Structure 1
Amino acid sequence: MTTSAKASAAVHVQAAVAAYAQALDADRIDDLVELFWPDGVAEITGVGTFEGHDAIRAGYAGFSPAQPQLHLVANTVVTSAIDDEATAVSNLAFFQRDDTGWAVRLVGRYDDVLRRRDGEWRFQRRVTTFQP
């Protein structure tokens, strides 16, 4: 893959990562599901593995926020970009707001595989792991 093609993939990866966090925090599950290919996989370590749109929708429906929340995703690095596939890793911090203000509830990491089909990039696999 050329440097410009890798840079283009990186832009699309960054956009998907950001759109995922925004949709999750706003409880827009249908928007989140559309970021995955129909045969995509969302794996949340310690919670479950959700394969396909219906399973992803059902799995994330259980995460509807009871209070304001914010996923901050940082340090996203595209680790490979070959033809129509890119892999990336990102750090995340999850905040929730309660009566005392905002607090970090957990930190973790996303390991992603994104694929391009018909010019569109979506998650093929997203693995979320949490740090102790």
Structure 2
Amino acid sequence: MSTANQASTTAHVQRAIGAYAHAVDADRVDDIVELFWPDGVAEITGVGTFEGHEAIRAGYANFSPARPQLHLATNIVVTSVTEDEATAVSNLAFFQRDDSGWAVRLVGRYDDVLRRRDGEWRFQRRVTTFLP
């Protein structure tokens, strides 16, 4: 794979990770679903595994924010790239705002597999693990 193709794939991966964070924080469940392939899997350790669009939609519909929130995905490292698949790992910090201001509520990690079909990159599998 050429350096230009690898850079393009990395940009697509970073865009998907960022779009996911924004969609979750804004409670845009349909946008979250569209970031996954129809046979995609969203696994949230300790919460559940959601396979396919309908299960992902139902699962994320239960996470409507009660307060303003912010997911920060950082230290994104694309760990492997082929023409039609990429894997990545990133750190997660979850903030919520209450009457006293913003506070970190959770930290964790995302492990992602994204696939390209018809020129479009989406999550095939996203595993969210929260750290103690």
Q: Calculate the TM-score normalised by the size of structure 1.
A: 0.99
1:14-93 equivalent positions in 2, closer than 5 A: 14-93=14-93
Give the structure 2 partner of residue 114 of structure 1.
114
Displacement over 4 Å in runs of 4+: none
Give the structure 1 partner of residue 13 of structure 2.
13
Shift of 1:83: 1.3
Distance 2:58 2:92 in 1: 23
Q: Between Structure 1 and Structure 2, how many residues are aligned?
A: 132
Helix, strand or coil: the match of 2:14? helix
Helix, strand or coil: the match of 2:65? coil
CA deviation vs aligned residue, 1:39-85 (integer Å, no higher than 9, x gap): 00000000000000000000011100000000011010100001100
Amino acid at match of 2:100: T
Structure 2 gap segments, 5+ residues each: none
CA deviation vs aligned residue, 1:79-120 (integer Å, no higher than 9, x gap): 000110000001010000001100000000000000000000
Shift of 1:5: 1.2
Shift of 1:3: 1.5
Distance 1:64 1:9 in 2: 31
Amino acid at match of 2:51: E
Distance 1:117 1:91 in 2: 26
Structure 1 gap segments, 5+ residues each: none
Amino acid at match of 1:113: V
Identity %: 81
Q: CA RMSD in A?
A: 0.5
Q: Calculate the TM-score normalised by the size of structure 2.
A: 0.99
Amino acid at match of 1:65: P
Give the structure 1 partner of residue 123 of structure 2.
123
